A and B are shown apart, each in its own frame.
Chain A
């Protein structure tokens, strides 16, 4: 029962953080929300008894990808949104 509650909490957090990545206007905020998404996904892998994949996801998804996004955003313009405006 407690496992089902953790599942529901994690999957709901995954959906919410994925929507936050989509709706964020600031690109740095979107990158941090993507890091939170990766962290929640690694916790979900840990709950599903795949600690190998959880460590890989926490290292690459939450660590390296967020750093690469932050570096790329710092190297370019800081405006978000569509390319037309």
Chain B
């Protein structure tokens, strides 16, 4: 009974996913003012041919700085959690 219920839920989710993936149309956002400005002026303002790289590293540089900080914090936390507690000389190895 439980397996049948699980299979039914899975089938419903699969059908919904297929309908959402194949039925809806892509590439028609509602508001495109910022996109149009970046596509028109991005190459001469940032100097890079790849417009995604120009947006990520020049227009939205603060976001990339925050992402780098998040990655640094992740490594700091992982080093803090996974440090070796047994040995005295390696206690501050990952910090």
Contact = CB atoms under 8 A, between A and B. Distances in A.
A22 B51 CA distance: 39
In this complex, the interface size class of chain B, counting residues with CB under 8 Å from chain A, is under 10
Contacts of A19: 10, 14
A23 to B, nearest CB: 9
Contacts of A24: none
In this complex, the interface size class of chain A, counting residues with CB under 8 Å from chain B, is 10 to 19
Nearest to A11: B21
A48 B18 contact: no
Interface of A: 4, 7-8, 11-12, 14-15, 19, 22, 48, 52
Interface of B: 10, 14, 17-18, 21-22, 26, 52
